[in-house]
Structure 1
């Protein structure tokens, strides 16, 4: 579809919102029953993280790197060695063989349990309406991979807002929507992203997607993120059980809140916005609409939500693509600006 043929609104603010469903309570979200979802009632404070984890980049000490979702040694995760390189005498070799057989059996059972559990959650949340909100501000190849992964692995509707067709990303979005109009809804604006010298900001754009949505659960997702399996069902299930939001990665403040570390599984203080599902109505009142960039704005959103924020027990199958680089001085300035709001909320809740 050519740019001339598509409908292009002048600004994000000018896009009309024709349906708002916040007046009625959600119809399919159950009361809180958090322990059944997380497998723990802890705060997530037992997860490793270093004191040097900066607020603008949550620490990763002691954790798997982002994007590492494969379970290389399930037996080891269950507390066994599972080392195929071990050697010894015949009797010991026999014992090791028996242990490995037992390890493999347990690992297979565990993985089967995970599959059964996800399928059970999928059935139980089938009536919970869900949409994924995407801001498209360049990097068309990543847009293609991100959206296609949602089509392949979820039943959610995709709501995509294109800011200025940067590098042809809006054209890529139209190609995808033309193939799956039943799953993808798109809006285009002439406004370019704030980080590219335009006037379209993260906060106003995210708020517009929330208001264009009519689902019970809204998923904030970045186009740097790709699903390698059904990563949304565990998040939706957590919300259906009573959490206000659930995400791929959690974060906990250290000391006075100027440093953060990764946290989870279980209850956490904040969630990162690269993949975060939230009850849509509360999100409308909590989203920092004045945020010009998303860095640290996800923490501010998390702290403004009233209720339990959760990271599921088993990490969803998610991969992070390469970082979308923006000018360093811009990012530092906007991160610091957003973090002022984070500190205000932390101090208010102390």
Structure 2
């Protein structure tokens, strides 16, 4: 007989594992991206300019890009010429010549970049992150068809475990979750509670529910994902690769904050989508985070998820990254929430975001 818990809070956690050492991850980079008005893309290829820190998306000097060129260094038009070669593939020289060796290294780098463009980079990332443990946390709050598609795509395209919390079996979505958990018992672990979601007239809040999933997890990386997303390929490996390299969190989309000069800015006036690379904040739907660092950053008092995801990412101590290539993810559309509720709770959560921004 299946167990239905009365509330999210009543679900027992057998052990608190937040102190567990992340054995397969490099130490997190602790430098924080300062508030600027950059585009989020390193379009110049050079050093950051303006603002109170480096432009968004521009890495620190000396850090390597995927192709091997240090961040902050301009691409050279004809590197072979700098080494004394014409660039002609047929040109030969002394096999022991250091310049010839440098040319061969350069040619190998170009070939590697071309392979990356063909998708080999993703396979390399899979090998490099094969030992990194990751779990996907889902809040099931209705929309059963979306839940089915979301879960099936995770089964088809990832190796991650799924930890799912059903809130009130709204519209039969919990039944779908239970069906798939029985089909994939080694991949999906589900908890069902009688509480309905706060944003659908109940008492189960986003912050408390997300914190419970975080404590029920034992993986090195915890992925916050919404059930209105469907994976069309392996969208998790690029996020895990960024975290394995030192980011504290990586996500599908990043945001930058632009000061409009007003005394009390509104979300519409101050938020702008950033490009790939280091970003100031990550927006929800799909965020992978070092679980040990998420405990003190997650806003457990948030009733609703909108802007609470930004508050989480702003409170994390380290680099936030959006992968260079777009992730194979499709959105099924934003789930409807009563407008007055969304406006009130979004405003409340955004006040927390402003507080963190002003304090940074």
Question: What TM-score bracket applies, with the shorter chain setting the length?
Answer: 0.7 to 0.9
Could you tell me which of 162, 179, 183 is aligned with 1:158? 162
User: Runs in 1 of length 4+ with deviation above 6 angstroms?
Assistant: none
CA distance in 2, matches of 1:195, 1:313: 34
CA distance in 2, matches of 1:114, 1:163: 42
Could you tell me which of 8, 14, 17 is aligned with 1:21? 17
Q: Equivalences for 1:211-230 in 2 at 5 Å? A: 211-230=215-234
RMSD of aligned Cα (Å) = 2.3
CA contact (8 A) 2:253 2:283 kept: yes
Computing the radius of gyration from Cα coordinates, the structure with the larger value is 2
Could you tell me which of 322, 333, 338 is aligned with 1:311? 322
Higher relative contact order (CA 8 A, sep 6+): 1
Determine the structure 2 residue equivalent to 1:125. Answer: 129
The verdict on how the C-alpha distance between 1:303 and 1:112 changes in structure 2, with shifts beyond 3 A counting, is closer
Determine the structure 2 residue equivalent to 1:331. Answer: 342
CA distance in 2, matches of 1:111, 1:235: 20
CA distance in 2, matches of 1:201, 1:113: 43
The alignment status of 1:246 with 2:238, answered yes or no, reads no
The alignment status of 1:295 with 2:306, answered yes or no, reads yes
- More helix per residue: 1 or 2? 1
Determine the structure 2 residue equivalent to 1:45. Answer: 38
| Uncovered stretches (5+) of structure 1, i.e. residues with no partner | 35-42, 49-105
CA distance in 1, matches of 2:199, 2:159: 32
SS of equivalent to 1:286: coil
CA contact (8 A) 1:44 1:266 kept: no
The alignment status of 1:171 with 2:175, answered yes or no, reads yes
Instruction: Say how many residue pairs are matched.
Output: 282
Structure 1 residue 273, shift from structure 2 partner: 1.4
The verdict on how the C-alpha distance between 1:33 and 1:210 changes in structure 2, with shifts beyond 3 A counting, is closer
Could you tell me which of 3, 8, 19 is aligned with 1:7? 3
SS of equivalent to 1:168: helix
The TM-score normalised by the length of structure 2 is 0.74
| Uncovered stretches (5+) of structure 2, i.e. residues with no partner | 31-35, 42-109
Could you tell me which of 188, 196, 205 is aligned with 1:192? 196
1:28-74: CA deviations, max 9, x gaps? Answer: 0013579xxxxxxxx893259xxxxxxxxxxxxxxxxxxxxxxxxxx
The verdict on how the C-alpha distance between 1:44 and 1:347 changes in structure 2, with shifts beyond 3 A counting, is closer
The TM-score normalised by the length of structure 1 is 0.77
SS of equivalent to 2:178: helix
The verdict on how the C-alpha distance between 1:111 and 1:170 changes in structure 2, with shifts beyond 3 A counting, is farther
The verdict on how the C-alpha distance between 1:112 and 1:348 changes in structure 2, with shifts beyond 3 A counting, is closer
Structure 1 residue 143, shift from structure 2 partner: 0.2
